[in-house]
Amino acid sequence: MNELVRFGVSMPSDLLKEFDGWIERRGYENRSEAIRNLARAALVEESWQEGDSEVAGTVTLVYDHHISGLNDLLNNIQHDHHNIIISSLHVHLDHHNCLEILVIRGKASEAKSFADKLLSIKGIKHGKLTTTTTGHHLA
Ligand code: NI
């Protein structure tokens, strides 16, 4: 069982005041929950920096499918990385625009280079990698 441990934290009073305001604006019930989430966020961020860590995330893309060659290129890149993509969603937003969300899981280094490859393609109107975790090794 993962027992809860209490510990004391010292910080300047002005910082604590600002932090308490942030906690309230975010809707946290208490400081402990806020600090736990900040700790998890730091660990998730670090896991994405360590090439061998297994990570999860999403790549979101918006593009005009009329652009010549773009659909083929996206399709080819995704087939080349089928081992990283565990699910995908394609929405035809309007006559021109497509929204695509790829759920990815794999080694951080591969996941990052896959996302970079997609996000740098000419013709992508907006793209974003959201980094998260498989949840393993994170209490
Ligand atoms: Ni579409």
Assign 2 a pLDDT band (cuts: 50, 70, 90): confident
Tell whether the model's pLDDT for residue 137 goes beyond 90.
no
Residues in the chain, overall count: 139
Give residue 106 CA to ligand 1 midpoint distance, Å.
26
**90: CA distance to ligand 1 center in Å?**
6
Residue 99 CA, ligand 1 centroid: distance in Å: 7
Summarised one tens digit per residue, pLDDT across range 88-108 is 999 999 999 999 999 999 999
pLDDT tens-place string over residues 44-82 = 999 999 999 999 999 999 999 999 999 999 999 999 999
pTM (2 decimals)?
0.88
Distance, in Å, from the CA atom of 60 to the CA atom of 139, rounded to the nearest integer, reads: 27
Instruction: Give the distance (Å) from ligand 1 centre to CA of residue 64.
Output: 8
Angle made by CA atoms 11, 15, 21, in degrees to the nearest 5 = 125
From 56, 61, 51, select the one nearest 99 (Cα to Cα).
Answer: 61
The amino acid at 138: L
The residue written with tokens 């600090």 in the block is 35
Distance 40 CA to ligand 1 centre (A): 35
